[in-house]
Chains A and B, each alone.
Chain A
Amino acid sequence: MSVLGVAMVSLLGLHARNVRLTSQAQDLTIAGMLASRVAAESQASRTPVPAGITSGEFSDREASLSFAGEEIYGGTLAARFRWRREVEYIDLARLGLPLRVPRIRVSVGTEDNPEIAVLVVLQPGASAP
Chain B
Amino acid sequence: MTARTNKACRRKAGVSLLEMLVALGIFAIISSIVYGTFSRTAGTRVYAEQRLNLFAIARAAISWMERDLMAAGTTGLFPTGQPILFVSAGIAERETGRDDVPLLEVTTASSLGTSPLEIDGFVLPGHSERSSETRVVYRLERSTEPDAAPGLSSERAQGMEKAAAYDLVRYDFRPARAAELEFAARSVIAGGVESVTLRFYDGVSWWESWDSRPGAANSRRVPRMVETRITMHDAEGPPLTFVSGVAVASQIDAG
Contact surface of A with B, Cβ cutoff 8 Å = 1, 8, 11-12, 15-16, 18-19, 22-23, 25-26, 29-30, 32-34, 36-41, 43-46, 48, 67, 73-78, 98, 123-127
Contact = CB atoms under 8 A, between A and B. Distances in A.
Interface of B is mostly: mixed
Interface residues of B, number: 44
A75 to B, nearest CB: 4
Interface in B200-255: 201, 203-204, 206, 224-227, 229, 238-248, 251-255
Given A36-B66, A37-B227, A11 B38 contact: yes
B252 A77 contact: no
Given A36-B244, A77-B241, A77-B242, 9 more contacts: A8-B34, A12-B38, A19-B45, A26-B48, A36-B66, A40-B247, A41-B225, A125-B253, A126-B255
Contact of A19 (B41, B229, B253): B41
Contacts of A124: 254
24 contacts: A1-B30, A8-B38, A11-B38, A15-B38, A16-B41, A18-B48, A22-B51, A23-B48, A25-B55, A26-B51, A29-B56, A34-B244, A36-B245, A37-B244, A39-B247, A40-B226, A40-B227, A40-B245, A41-B201, A41-B225, A45-B203, A46-B203, A74-B243, A123-B254
B244 A33 contact: yes
A55 B39 CA distance: 42
Contacts of B49: 22
A75 B105 CA distance: 24
A127 B253 CA distance: 11
A29 B240 contact: no
B44 interface: yes
A22 B206 contact: no
Contacts of A19: 41, 44-45, 48
